[in-house]
Structure 1
């Protein structure tokens, strides 16, 4: 079977699922190919932001209730997994309907692979078909990277995707990797009551953060009972009766660590396996991601790569902005590109969340700025006292010569919301004094911006 379309989107990620109905409404015939019915809606909906943050919220509630009984915590965890599954199923169906019910757009479930730069073969449950498209958009995302460690393919070793389906709370959990994914899972499972060990091969915790911020985060995580092992290498993983053992090497020597489950959070790699990229003549970058220019086009002008697969910042909201770039390039002014992005915020959903936008203090100094740095303790905020969430620290980096806010970090309750205010403000180009003197409602965490910037 062969069919022709105006646009073929491979992968059901945020950019693709938003682009498909838009293109269809412009009168184009559009097909979206997704290899798994469990991934309608993409990573965020099914195995990323939504399920992990749902678990993080439930874990936070458990922590607030101060439930000490292990059986009760385990039961709460099982309930949280069930509620997460219901939420994901609802959103997955909604995402499918949003695309498939748009006139001119169709979802096909199957495995896509390039035959040429305009032709893609799709293997479905009912047979094979060839789709010929004038424009092709690859939106297949990324998947967990599995390091080459002897024994790592044990059935007690999980990726972040698989960990979300572990129905029973592990008494002991060991996490390989101290990045955002590892930290979020560490915070979640420690709050539910697991004994968590976080193993990081580097010698610095939160390597990209300023040391004062990293130390504050480490202190809070350790207060939750999380053990953080730096400069530690996993040499071997061995299955034991009812458990699993890690052979570790650190500056302190060799150690054997027994645990009930291992989460591998050692980074992500492009989801291009099986796509037969070579047949399309598409270039990959040195990391294996699809190489794109500032308009997200590949070296084939009619093929774009959107979302995590293009090697950009791996956030669903950046994938959404990829859609905006393509939309503008095809039907707008053509001015929007990745170069247009300024002050993109980020948040790590530990408890409390760690959020950041702009330069860190170290980065600003390396860029040659003359700066003023101010800090404010979260415990000084009335709202933090109300919430009984007094842990944390706020930090701002100011350019002395222009009075512009160069960077802001907030490790405190509700920071994942506040960071968006600061991002919008930084994009305005106004001096920090405007934000300092802005009127915020009281009592809120937002008014901490007044107090912090009054220290300049």
Structure 2
């Protein structure tokens, strides 16, 4: 039985831990998949490279509103795909070799706890003074009759297909469904979205969610309040039977099926409970604000411990855990509880803090301001008629409670509002004490703040 000072499980944000400060420790990494984790290999990075291409296609087709008569002859899917993965795939081998050259033992089989701080990896059993669990999450595969009898894709696999299907059924209405529906629609697929709820992107502010649903329905076939009751083969594709809100059924035939109904933490694959780790009802590891688990000397970070499933959150947690492992007598916590996110679909969406419906549900007093892109000079240049920025503020202390933007460059436009929330600045400070470039699109943020 080999013993280590530190064992890190997972090479997404967990791989960021091993800085030069750990050089004198005997360390090991356990990674049965590819170095870089979900984000690099099958998540945020490759998907956004596809999204950028889809945006270029959509911009070309929409240019006629600006007086530019352009079009798209073809989209070379294989060239796009290979550009993405020819850049990403070599990182696995280089990461693996780098760690081994630097004296870190790398185990490439799956690890499972057999007792607290005792890990079975293949035929070997290892122990350590300190474990960091950062094994991430994976797509949920729902229990739908017939699903196990048909070929289907999840976000793990769909980016590596050989050609764009003529038609695609997407089960789910969240981030992943929205982004891939945009990509494949732009590339020529006839997309049908099957969503159990009354709107797409239900976690967003209701006003944003409603606007996105309205716009998505102009590009895709969108079935709302619909339940998938069964799936069957249909030729080389699939037939998806859907129960509609009126009680009727509809069969949707398509060349390909994408299942994107959520993600689950990988704690079951780890036998976390055998390792003494306490879990919540969703399977996430319970940890305190310093990311200590129920087992002394075992820390956890990323998708396996939080519900955000955001790479930037996992990276911030990794920095905190890195300090705490090195300085257990002086632990830090992630003091910034503001967790922004973006959905890179069309139109782009970004959000931080309370939604209006959450504020009402909590009984939180708030002021709200909504400003259309079309109220700004740059919005005129874009000929934009559907995008807006929305800001909620506390009427007593005048700090920002939440911000929600739908439209071009939303993920960039929201950043000053994130900073204001993180630093505790008031609406007045951010609106009046800062100069906003005219006629930049950031004026939509300025105008929303001034209205408050």
Instruction: Determine if the alignment matches structure 1 residue 447 to structure 2 residue 446.
Output: no
Contact 2:60 2:72 in 1 (8 A): no
Match of 1:82 in 2: 82
Q: Residues 416-435 of structure 1: matches in 2 within 5 Å?
A: 416-435=411-430
SS class of match (1:115): strand
SS class of match (1:157): coil
Instruction: Quickly say closer, same or farther: Cα 1:316–1:94, change in 2 above 3 A.
Output: farther
Match of 1:139 in 2: 134
Instruction: Quickly say closer, same or farther: Cα 1:321–1:248, change in 2 above 3 A.
Output: same
Q: CA deviation at 1:455?
A: 1.7
Instruction: Quickly say closer, same or farther: Cα 1:21–1:105, change in 2 above 3 A.
Output: farther
Instruction: Quickly say closer, same or farther: Cα 1:86–1:387, change in 2 above 3 A.
Output: farther
Q: CA deviation at 1:262?
A: 0.9
Instruction: Quickly say closer, same or farther: Cα 1:258–1:413, change in 2 above 3 A.
Output: same
Q: CA deviation at 1:155?
A: 4.4
Contact 1:216 1:393 in 2 (8 A): no
Q: CA deviation at 1:95?
A: 4.0
Gaps of 5+ in 2: 63-68
Q: CA deviation at 1:197?
A: 1.1
Q: CA deviation at 1:331?
A: 3.5
Q: CA deviation at 1:131?
A: 2.1
Q: CA deviation at 1:335?
A: 5.0
Q: Residues 363-374 of structure 1: matches in 2 within 5 Å?
A: 363-374=358-369
Q: Residues 346-357 of structure 1: matches in 2 within 5 Å?
A: 346-357=341-352
Match of 2:242 in 1: 248
Aligned counterpart for 2:17 among listed residues 16, 19, 22: 19
Match of 1:48 in 2: 43
Aligned counterpart for 2:397 among listed residues 382, 402, 409: 402
- The alignment's TM-score, normalised by the length of structure 1, stands at 0.90
Instruction: Quickly say closer, same or farther: Cα 1:320–1:22, change in 2 above 3 A.
Output: farther
Contact 2:171 2:261 in 1 (8 A): yes
Partners of 1:59 and 1:217 lie apart in 2 by: 17
Q: CA deviation at 1:454?
A: 1.8
Q: Residues 375-394 of structure 1: matches in 2 within 5 Å?
A: 375-386=370-381, 391-394=386-389
CA deviation vs aligned residue, 1:99-122 (integer Å, no higher than 9, x gap): 444x34343322212232232222
SS class of match (2:148): coil
Partners of 2:306 and 2:85 lie apart in 1 by: 29
CA deviation vs aligned residue, 1:210-269 (integer Å, no higher than 9, x gap): 33212211122222x212211111111110112210111112311111111111111111
Partners of 2:381 and 2:27 lie apart in 1 by: 51
Q: CA deviation at 1:430?
A: 1.7
Q: Residues 54-453 of structure 1: matches in 2 within 5 Å?
A: 54-66=49-61, 72-73=73-74, 75-96=75-96, 99-101=99-101, 103-123=102-122, 128-223=123-218, 225-252=219-246, 253-332=248-327, 334-338=330-334, 340-386=335-381, 391-437=386-432, 438-453=434-449
Match of 1:30 in 2: 27
Gaps of 5+ in 1: none
- Cα RMSD over matched residues? 2.4
Contact 1:405 1:426 in 2 (8 A): yes
Instruction: Quickly say closer, same or farther: Cα 1:222–1:204, change in 2 above 3 A.
Output: closer
Partners of 1:328 and 1:364 lie apart in 2 by: 35
